Structure 1
Amino acid sequence: MMHELEDSIEMRTVVRTDAQKLWQLVSEPGWFVNDGEIVEHRITMEGDLATVTDPVHGTFRIRVVDIDPGYYVSYRWIGSSLGEGDGTEDPVPVATLIEFRLNDHGDGVELLVRESGITALDLDADAHCRFLLDNREGWEIELRAVHEHLHAD
C-alpha cells in the first residue's frame, strides 16, 4: 500500500521580543543557513535574487518570492552551495518554498515557519523521509537559534 508523501513542514514558536527585531532577522535572505547559531552572511541582491555566502556552508542562491513588510516573507531555494571553485558551477536545483509569517501574540510575536514543495523534489520514498526528518530537525534548531539570538541583546 502506497502512503501519500508529506509535502510540507510547519512549525510555530512565540518569541518574546519586539516584532521589528524579529522581522529584521527573518527578512534577511538566508539567515537560516548556519549551524544553530545565527551568523553574519555576505549577501548581494540582484532584483529579487540573493546570493548568500555563509562562512562555513558556502554560497547559495535564494529568491525572495513574496514580502509583506513586517508580517510575511517567502523564499525559494534556487540552488545549493555553489562549491569551492570559482563560483561558476551550476547549482543543484532545489524547489522548496520557505515562508515566515509573524503574528502578534500579546506578550511576544508568533513566528510560523512553513517549508513546502517537498514532493516536487526528485526524491525516492526513503530520501523523502530523510529530507523530512532532517529538515524538521533543522527548523527546530533554527527556531532555538532565533530565541537565543534575539535574547542575547
Structure 2
Amino acid sequence: MVQTAHSSFDRVDRAILSELAGQGRISWRDLAVRVGLSLTPVLRRVRRLEDQGFITGYSARFDEARLGASFSAFVSVTLERQAEEALEVFETQIARAPEVMSCYLMSGGSDYLLRVVAADLGAYQAFMTGVLTRIPGVARIQSSFALKLVIERSAPPFR
C-alpha cells in the first residue's frame, strides 16, 4: 500500500520537504534552523522520510542550454497496438535514448508523451530518424517544440 502525505506528514515534515526541494544541498544545520528543530531530530526525520520512500534521492539540476541541449520538444507517440509486449518493447528501447528526459504512459489520444532535448533541430531530426522511428510498433509521432520554459518545479505542493 502506498503511503500518502495526508496519512503521516506534519508541519515539520512538510517544511523539511519544501526546503530540500528548493535547495537539496542545504547543510543539515541550516535545515534544522529553517524548520525550527535541533540537528538530531531533523536528521531523524529526514532518514524516516527516506526510509518511507518520500525522498527517493538527491540530484543536481543542470542548465540544459549551457550543456548543449537548448532544443526541447514534447513528443506524442502512438503505438500500433497497446498490448503489454508492445508497451514493454517501446519502454525498454526509449529508456536507452539519452535525449529523452522524461517519458509518460498516457491516457487519451496518444500512448506516450516524451520530453526530448537536443542541440538543435538537426540533432532532433537525427534522434527522430535514428532512434524513435526505428522502435518496432511506433505508428504515429507528433512533435511540439518548446519556445520558452515558463515554470518548472522539482516537487509537488506539500499540504
- TM-score strictly above 0.5: no
Q: Which has the larger radius of gyration?
A: 2
Normalising by structure 2, we get a TM-score of: 0.31
Normalising by structure 1, we get a TM-score of: 0.32
Q: Which has the higher helix share?
A: 2
Q: Which has the higher strand share?
A: 1
